[in-house]
Amino acid sequence: MEPFPSDRIQLPRNMIENSMFEEEPDVVDLAKEPCLHPLEPDEVEYEPRSSRLLVRGLGEHEIDDDEEDYESSAKLLGMSFMNRSSGLRNNMSVYRQNPNGSCSVPSTRTMVVCTVVLVIAVSLIMAIYLLPKCTFSKEGCHKKNHTMELIYPLATNGKLFPWAKIRLPPDVVPLHYDLVLQPNLTTLKFAGSVKIVVNIIHVTWKIVLHSSGLNITKATITSAGGHQAKSVEFLEYPLHDQIAVMAPEALLVGQNYTVNIEYSSNLSDTYYGFYKISYKDENSKQRWFAATQFEPLAARSAFPCFDEPAFKATFLIKIKRDEKLSTLSNMPKKATTPVTNGIVQDEFFVSLKMSTYLVAFVVADLKNISRETNGSLVSVYAIPQHLNQVGYALNTAVKLLEFYQKYFFINYPLEKLDLVAIPDFQSGAMENWGLITFRETTLLFDSNTSSARDKKLITAVIAHELAHQWFGNLVTMEWWNDLWLNEGFATFMEYFAMEEIFPELHSDEDLLNLIFKAMMKDSLNSSHPVSSAVQSSEQIEEMFDALSYIKGASLLLMLKHYLTKDVFQAGIEVYLHNHNYGSAQSDDLWDSMNEITNGTLDVKKLMKTWILHKGFPLVTVVRKGKNISVQQEKFLYRVEPENWTADASYLWHIPLTYITSSCNFTHCTNAYLLDQKSAVIELPEEVEWIKFNVDMNGYYIVHYAEDWKTLIDLLKKNHTALSPKDRANLINNIFNLAGLGKESLEKAFELIDYLNKESSTAPLTQALFQLSLIYSLLEKKGEQQLAARVMHRIEHLLGDKIDQQRWTDDGTLSERELRSTLLAFACTHNMRNCRATATEMFEKWMKSNGTMSLPSDVMKAIFTAGAKSSNGWEFLLKMYSSSVSEAEKSKMIEALASTEDVRKLIWLMQNCLEGEVIRAQELSHIIATISQSLPGYLLAWDFVKENWEKLTRKFHLGSYTIQNIISSSTSQFATKAHLLEVKSFFESKSEESSQLRCVKEAIDTIQLNIQWMERNLAKLQELL
């Protein structure tokens, strides 16, 4: 291709002449100028007035379309037109000049004629000015109209930025990136260059891509086959994290071009992008570590890129580093070459086609252990002092990788899989393809200090991230509205794989508890559909919530049971094969399932009723002889009737399951699809009892009306007639119905009276959770005596069970986990002699200067009791600073946050935010723990208010951490004064803050707490 004609970019005429800016600084009239750059009307998006320049092509009926925007623009246009009109008038002299230089007065007739002519001329000019260009064209004007046909924002240099939408234009797609980075762990900065090969889909003059916080020093473009890179102008629009590379001539359809950009930046001090971490080595010397976290929108802060999940490309990554450090990236290392004194360059093999958010690299001093399986080398990396804690993770990862390959019938496609423990990491882990990064507590297992629960957590997180190598990496959601395709599937597969490979962990009980909590969130009017439209960064961040993960997993669990496991597995296989290395939407999954059901069931029709609608159904069951009447309605806490979104007519297609007294084994499970408002199921014979939603495999709540008494009697006489999950399900359902006002609190308490005979973890945990919610509300409301009576009721039900617990680590994993739960609860609430026993063990440990071994399952209970004294708290903090076990440190943090000393609590939160002694990654956990206690719940909220700007700068608006902080710091409030305070606080902040969904959920929750107290306080006084 010919070289570009000139070094100087030809600005299109609609990019505005300087003289036009001088006359009309805010409005540009395009009605008279042909458009050289293809700025199509469908590119229009409205921007805040403070950041936009209005570029108008005047069209029909604009006043009616948007009066406000028109009014502000019309004033400017009016001023402009007056300037032009005055110019015209100045040029139309109606005075005659005498030879002697004086002017004679014109006649009256002349004056009238001139006035008429002037009025006609001005009217014609205005009409022509205001009419759209299409009026005089051959085609005429089409009805399609936009209030402002073209609205483009201003770039940082004051010029027009040629794109106004948050989403990138579809004109250009990336094919390949060559990325070179040089991080400096002394100056904590990095330099980079990226060459992006792009393909042109539609003729364009611009290449718009993402860049955030990068100091771009040079940009060039080269055509395919061209040898000379030409410097080009680039424009920056930080509000959308976008840059536009302006081509000197049209970029042609089907052609490839290479964009080369050089830049530099600081290593981030947040948890996003390419960020820095400090830690202390074995000799207590400060060391630096650089790692990445790009999901969802931070790859753009490490290199300019097309940072949307559907823009998949291949990546060749080179990293220059200190020769004493090591680097890791998605692919295996290809070569290491010297660059200059002490600096070498690592080059990695070209990646598979993948999304930008999955790119990753780490620069640090790391050690590892490895094992090969099925042609892939699996390695677990950690800083040197933690190398002895990576063995369990390696064994678990190998087992899971082998399981997934068999289940999906698709081999893991890379030659290596690295799992890396990062010393400071906001989330639990990140599924970067071939380089999975973890928080240390979710990867490192210390046989001396890690409990049964720690082992389960590590297993679950590894299972989740490995599932992503197929769901998310191989097949990626097209846009963030379908994030559940990634996260819901990975969560579903995590628990499914654990049941298959590690049945002794009883992970299905954990999923059950998570589903119960997700349903609490989903029952609020502020909830959202699993698949929801999102645009802004805050909206995208907020999609990473319990609904995308847990509701998504629960819906897949329900579908698997309805279709049967073989049909479901075959559907997954088709989905992965049809879309590998590509992107998908929800419908693609249902279409794949329909290929297998082959017309016997329309999976798409069924599942759309669940995916596109928020909330879940309440199914009411009435038994009359052999006939079972079932009726569905929406389960919703109606907080403010005037703001309530009515969905009375909405119908879910519910795959009901049920067992009866005639046969209550799993193989006797019956199914019925309720796709109407109501129906009647006829049983073959009359039964003593019926239980719907077997093992809680469906995402709905059941109200048994008159049959609750039958089920309560069943639990008292023979609770093992139902499975532990079914028993937990009944406890959850009746307490939720009591909150809704559909059932009495008295009946809920009557149902749990059987618990002194209960020995399974799931129902005990659920009962403890429900009663703790009531206790906390009463305590924070100042109803201390009533709260004490709730605790007395818990002790009456569970006291014997608490007394039976031994302060050891023996028993099955399920028994050990129950022991941890019961003893931690008993010690926190000073129940039985728990605190005395724990304090005695803590003091022995303190006397040994922390060298005495403590049972890991009861370690948290011991530390919590010890932290009640000032000396114990100080000693625990000292031990925290020197401990090398992340599992032990996690238990210490919770204990430190359980003190009743207000000054210590304030210090703890402040220090954690600054990351001095305790890392900022622990802050949401600390705030949640402090919020549970009576001395701490107001402190936590005050801390959030006072540090809101710092919190949102560190963790980003909408992030999972911010969601947790808002939720935990406000969930204990149950007064109108607190409701007003929370509302007022967020209303005083930015619109982005006040409109966060988690803020609306917090307000809904406080209103529900108030409503619950008004409805049940008097009843509780009678009951207890």
CA gap 1014, 998 in Å, rounded: 24
Residue type, 813: L
Which is nearest to 616 in space by CA: 522, 532, 550?
522
Catalytic residue, from 465, 758, 779, 783: name it: 465
- Which own/partner pairs from 558-562 qualify as long-range (CB within 8 Å, at least 24 positions apart)? 558/655, 558/697, 558/698, 558/699, 559/593, 559/603, 559/606, 559/607, 559/655, 560/492, 561/655, 561/657, 561/697, 561/698, 562/655, 562/671, 562/673
Ordered DSSP codes for 802-831: HHT--SSS-S-HHHHHHHHHHHHHHHHTT-
CA-derived radius of gyration, the chain: 33
Which is nearest to 790 in space by CA: 547, 1020, 449?
1020
Q: Three-state SS for 688? A: coil
Pairing of the two strands 690-692 and 654-660: antiparallel
Question: How is residue 224 written in tokens?
Answer: 């395919």
The gap between the terminal CA atoms of the chain, to the nearest Å, is 87
CA gap 124, 78 in Å, rounded: 16
Q: Residue 370 — φ and ψ, nearest 5°?
A: -140, 160
Question: How is residue 511 written in tokens?
Answer: 């999923």
CA gap 823, 632 in Å, rounded: 41
Look at the alpha carbons of 879, 880, 886, 890 in this order and tell me if their dihedral is positive or negative. positive
Structure-token match 């010029």, residue found: 159
From the CB of residue 372, how many other CB atoms can be counted at a distance below 10 Å?
12
CA gap 483, 585 in Å, rounded: 9
- Which region holds residue 349: left if phi is over 0, alpha if psi is between -120 and 50, else beta? beta
Residue 465 annotated as catalytic: yes
Question: How is residue 779 written in tokens?
Answer: 């305590």
In eight-state DSSP terms, residue 840 is H
CA gap 166, 44 in Å, rounded: 11
Residues 6+ apart with CB under 8 A from 144: none
CA gap 113, 118 in Å, rounded: 8
Continuous segment of H or E residues that includes residue 790: helix 784-803
Active site residues: 465
